[in-house]
Amino acid sequence: MEKRSHVKELFSQTVIYGLGIILNKSVGFILLPVYTKFFSPEQIGLFTLIQSLSLFFGVIYMFGMETSFMKFFIDAKDTRSKSEIYSVTLMTLSMTSLIFSIIIFFNAQNIAELFRFSELKESIFLIKILSVMMFVDSLSRFPLLLFRAELRSRTYAVINFLTFVVNVFCNVLFIVILRMGIEAIFYSYIISVTVTFTAGLFITKKYLIPGFSTTKLKELLKFGNKFIYIGFFVLLIDISDRFFLKYFFDESVVGIYSANYRLASVMGFMIASFKFSWTPYFLNMSSNPDNKKIISTIFTYFVFAGLLLFLVLSVFISQAVKIRVFGFEFLNVSYWEGLSVVPIVLLAYFFSGVYSMLNAAPFFTNKTISILIITFTGLAVNVMFNLILIPAYNITGAAMATLLTYFCMFLIIYFYSQKIYRIKYDWGRILKLVVLTLITFLICYFLLRKFISDSVVIVAVQLILIGIYLLCIHTFKIIDLKKITMLWSKNEKAVTE
């Protein structure tokens, strides 16, 4: 009997989820040439700040229900129980989201004045649109969560593909053809997530039942309560740098920083894809006696994938965004001064992913309160780094603050998780990967550009060096690249170590 490959299985789930997530979340990345051509840094900055508010409000709208829904739906033993959980969640969120949206709509001016946006009238208008978007967005998440809980990754990807097509079409129509303002991005998103929710609701209709179970609701709220605060803390870590930049500088600086931050979002898509597959995967694996060995193996391959992606993107992205096609550069010249933050942000994404992977231990031992404590500590560290580094180093300081925060959180969760659920990680191989990646990055990113001026020659040499990097990894048996290629095959024996 062939040995089951957990790495291959998780990889397959991650790729399929990744397609859905990339399609859904990469609209801002794909349309970056359009946004930076038609909108000024000040407009992009204002939009980014208000979009960041949507992430903040989103935690309030969800109040921990996403995590509790996932856990209780997976743990439910029969269809009736699953239906109760799904229906109760949707009905509760429908009522509360409507109330929250009404409050935000009629307090748009107070919110805009609180953050002292320079364009008060436009910001009030955008916040009102935001309130409508938040209502639809909140409801659209739960059919997708159900697909994740049932490991229906293909359905998830198809729904997101539909959303992506609608979103891109509306963006191009509203911005390029109709020449609407920055609010067009919100309009496009509202239309696309409405399609998502409608399609998702139709597919999951068998789980919709009449009636309301207050007992189920109490259970969901009790478990999810701590995740409200965890969500707030993580969100503030991710977006607070924009508001510190606004405080110390202005919206144009935020716009330049945000545009370049989006360039690094390719790593963010990979991390998000992994998180989407990892959470339900390890929850379903909690009773597996070999889960420690499986987690260790997956961790090593995750580190390799993350470091390789960091290396490739940080080395080539600054040249790629300057290529001009059909009158568009991927990043308009007025935003190029922020390119130096991209490698830093890529590493910040990487460590956020490593941190999330180590969260399995608190779940296995029912000590999820530790995640709350660690994220609060991370937030305190993040505020300190932002206050110290941003005034001195501008957008570079903002990126460094996020990177240092996630690195600290990774160290804390690692040492804590080893105390409560010890796992033997292959730090020998991981350390070799880190050293090789660092050496290759320093040569490609700094030394080559110092001694070679021709960009074509630089790219050619960088390609050769990355080839040597991969050859060294394979030759010295740090990672068996043949097993990596087998991940794409139909052979179930791929990567079973």
What confidence tens digit (pLDDT) does each residue in 459-493 have? 888 899 999 999 999 888 888 777 666 554 555 44
- 490 inside domain: no
Measured CA angle at 77 (ends 75, 79), to 5 deg: 115
Q: Tokens at residue 466, please? A: 């990355």
Residues 6+ apart with CB under 8 A from 325: none
- Domain enclosing residue 14, as ranges: 6-425
Residues 6+ apart with CB under 8 A from 225: 63, 64
At 251-288, the pLDDT tens digits run: 888 888 988 888 888 788 778 777 767 766 776 666 67
pLDDT of amino acid 161: 84
pLDDT of amino acid 3: 44
Question: What span, in angstroms and rounded, lies between the C-alpha atoms of 152 and 204?
Answer: 12
- 433 inside domain: no
- 40 inside domain: yes
pTM of the model: 0.72
- 476 inside domain: no
pLDDT of amino acid 135: 92
DSSP letter at 445?
I
Is the distance from CB of 405 to CB of 353 less than 8 angstroms?
A: no
Nearest CA among 72, 69, 73 for reference residue 92: 69
Q: Is the dihedral of CA 462, 464, 467, 472 positive or negative?
A: negative
Is the distance from CB of 9 to CB of 284 less than 8 angstroms?
A: no
Is the distance from CB of 351 to CB of 411 less than 8 angstroms?
A: no
Q: Tokens at residue 301, please? A: 């391959």
- 306 inside domain: yes
- 270 inside domain: yes
How many residues are given for the chain?
497
- 480 inside domain: no
DSSP letter at 7?
H
Question: What span, in angstroms and rounded, lies between the C-alpha atoms of 331 and 334?
Answer: 8
Question: What span, in angstroms and rounded, lies between the C-alpha atoms of 461 and 467?
Answer: 10
User: Which residues of the chain have a pLDDT value below 50?
Assistant: 1-4, 488, 492-497
Question: What span, in angstroms and rounded, lies between the C-alpha atoms of 203 and 211?
Answer: 20
- 469 inside domain: no
- Domain total in the chain: 1
Question: What span, in angstroms and rounded, lies between the C-alpha atoms of 202 and 143?
Answer: 9
